[in-house]
Amino acid sequence: MNASPISHPINVEQAVRQRYSEASQAKVDALCCPIEYDRQYLKAIPQEVLERDYGCGDPSRFLRVGERVLDLGSGAGKIAFVAAQIVGPDGRIIGIDMNDDMLALARKHQRAVGEAIGYHNVEFRKGRIQDLALDLEKLEAELKVYPIQNVDSFLTAEARADDLRVRQPLVPSESIDVVISNCVLNLVDSRAKAQLFREIFRVVRIGGRAVISDIVSDEPVPEEMQNDPDLWSGCISGALTEEQFLQAFLDAGFYGVRLQKWDPQPWRTVHGIEFRSVTVEAFKGKQGECFERNQAVIYKGPFKEVLDDDNHRMERGCRYAVCDKTFQLLQKEPYRDSFEFIQPRAEVPLEAAKPFDCDGKKIRHPRQTKGETYAATSSQNHCRDSGSCC
Ligand SMILES: C[S@@+](CC[C@H](N)C(=O)[O-])C[C@H]1O[C@@H](n2cnc3c(N)ncnc32)[C@H](O)[C@@H]1O
C-alpha cells in the first residue's frame, strides 16, 4: 500500500464497535448508501434485517451455485442471507463480525431465513476480519476460566490466543471459494489494513477469488479527518484511495484484479474529497513454478498491447511463449476472452517439462509449436463460422 499508515489518537475499533452496536438497535440513515438488490432474494429476509442494511454495493451478484463463501463484517446478515439463496443448498455461507449486537441480530433471524428458503447453509462467527484465525468466542470462553488479572495472565492469554489460531482456526487456510464483503474493509485500522488483505488471501483456496464492495476516496484522506471517530465509523476516514485499494489486493498476492463497479456519483463528498462505492474482484492462484511446454498465446486486442501484473508485455496479434501455469491461468476468468491459445503439436508431458524463465517477453515461433520437421500440405480448409470456405 502506498500511504504510510498513521497511528491514530482515536481507538478506531472501539469507535466502530460502539457505532455498530447502536446501528444494530435502530436504523441509522447516515450509514446507508442505497443499493438495488435483486428483489427475489429479499422476500425471505425479515424486515428488521433489511432495514439494518449498512452496505454500499452488492458482491453477492458475483456468486455461483455451490460456492463456499465468507462474508466479512456480516452485520445484520442481509448479504449473507441473499448469498445463501444464490449458492443454494450445496453452498455454504460464513458471516464474520466482531460486534456482539450485530451477531445477535443476524443469529436471531438465521433459522427463520433457513426455513423460508428451505435449507440451512448460513452461520455467523465472531472474529476480527484482520485476524481470521482467531475465534473470539473460543477465546472468550477461555478467558472466563482464566481471567486476565495481571501481566502474567495477560501474557498467558496471548499464548492461548496463538494456540487457538493454530489448533482451531476460526477460518482455516484455503477453505473458502469466495470472500465477499460489503462496506467493511474501510473500517479497519490503517495499521492492520495490509494484514487484513493478507488474511483474505490466506483463507481463499487456490483458484478462488475475492469480491469486495467498499468505499474508496479519489484523494488521500488527511490526518485530521482520520482522527475523527464519527467520520471513521461512518465509512469515510478509513477509505483507501482507488489506487491504494486495487494495489492492496496485488500486494497480498491476488491477480486479475478488476473494478467490477465504480459509482460515477460519489456517496458523500467531505472537504472536496469524493467518497464512492466500488466493487473489486481479484483472483488467487498465480503462485507456483513455471514449466516450458511449448505453448503459445495471442492477445486478441482491442488495445495495441497489454501488460500483466508480472510485467509481461504482449502486443496484439503476436504469438508469445508462456509457461504452463500462465497458459492455464489465461484460459480462466478474467482473461480467457482476450486470448487465443495454441497447444504444441507434440505435447510436452508436465513430468518432462523443463523450467521456464518467466522474465521478459518471448515471441514463440510457429515452428516451436508445430515442430521443426513439420511439412504437411492440406487440401481442405476448415472455416468454423459459415461451414463453407471457398
Ligand atoms: C458498514 S457495516 C456493514 C454490514 C453489512 N456488511 C451490510 O452490508 O449491512 C460494518 C460491519 O462490519 C463490522 N466490522 C467492522 N470492523 C470489523 C472488524 N475489524 N472485524 C469484524 N467486523 C467488523 C461491524 O461490526 C458492522 O457490523
Q: List the grid coordinates of 185.
A: 474493509
- The CA angle 254-281-16, to the nearest 5 degrees, is 95
Residues 76-96: tens digit of each pLDDT: 999 999 999 999 999 999 999
- Three-class DSSP category at 110: helix
Instruction: Kindly report the backbone phi and psi dihedral angles of residue 349, in degrees, each rounded to the nearest multiple of 5, phi listed first.
Output: -60, 145
The per-residue pLDDT for range 180-209, each reduced to its tens digit, is 999 999 999 999 999 999 999 999 999 999
Q: Report the C-alpha gap between 78 and 41 in whole angstroms.
A: 10
pLDDT in tens, the chain (390 residues): 544 455 667 788 889 999 989 898 988 877 767 788 999 999 999 999 999 999 999 999 999 999 999 999 999 999 999 999 999 999 999 999 999 999 999 999 999 999 999 999 999 999 999 999 999 999 999 999 999 999 999 999 999 999 999 999 999 999 999 999 999 999 999 999 999 999 999 999 999 999 999 999 999 999 999 999 999 999 999 999 999 999 999 999 999 999 999 999 999 999 999 999 999 999 999 999 999 999 999 999 999 999 988 888 999 999 999 999 999 999 999 999 999 999 999 999 999 999 999 887 789 999 999 999 999 998 776 666 655 555
C-beta separation of 351 from 341 below 8 A:
no
CA of 329 to the centre of ligand 1 (A): 33
> Cβ-count burial of 107 within 10 angstroms (0-12 exposed, 13-18 middle, 19+ buried)?
middle
Three-state secondary-structure class, residue 359: coil
CB 281 within 8 A of CB 211: yes
* 364 Cα to the center of ligand 1, angstroms: 49
Q: Which residues line ligand 1 (CB under 6 A)?
A: 16, 20, 31, 53-55, 73-76, 78-79, 96-99, 102, 128-130, 182-184, 187-188, 235
- The two beta strands, 273-283 and 268-270, are antiparallel
Q: Residues near 113 by Cβ (< 8 Å), separated by ≥ 6? A: 44, 45, 46, 77, 81, 84, 122
pTM of full prediction above 0.85: yes
